[in-house]
Amino acid sequence: ASAFLPQKPKSELVRTSLRLLTSSAYRLQSECKKTLPMETCPTTDIQLVTQQVIQCAYDIAKAAKQLVTITTKENNN
């Protein structure tokens, strides 16, 4: 979590966005590892892995946007 976020967010929306951000980041890391030469097995479908990486990146961007929107609203109140 970034410095502008509270340590224990009160908002359920913030918690949900942080969970999505964290889980998507872990998923992105594991999908990217599949493309490394030592991790790649002959049956690795690079096209599928690429789609998964794109989906993870989208989820990360979505969660980050939600957090910015929520914290901007909360800071303006």
Confirm whether 4 is domain-assigned: no
Confirm whether 57 is domain-assigned: yes
Q: Which residue has the higher pLDDT, 27 or 70?
A: 27
Q: In whole angstroms, what is the distance from residue 61 CA to residue 41 CA?
A: 29
Please write the tens of the pLDDT for every residue from 13-51: 888 888 999 999 999 999 888 888 777 677 778 899 899
CATH number at residue 62: 1.20.120.330
The reported pTM is: 0.72
> Residue 68 corresponds to which amino acid?
V
Confirm whether 53 is domain-assigned: yes
Confirm whether 46 is domain-assigned: yes
pLDDT at 7 over 70: no
The total of structural domains in the chain comes to 1
Confirm whether 28 is domain-assigned: yes
Long-range contacts, 50-57 (Cβ 8 Å, 24+): 52/27, 53/28, 56/24, 56/25, 56/27, 56/28, 56/31, 57/28
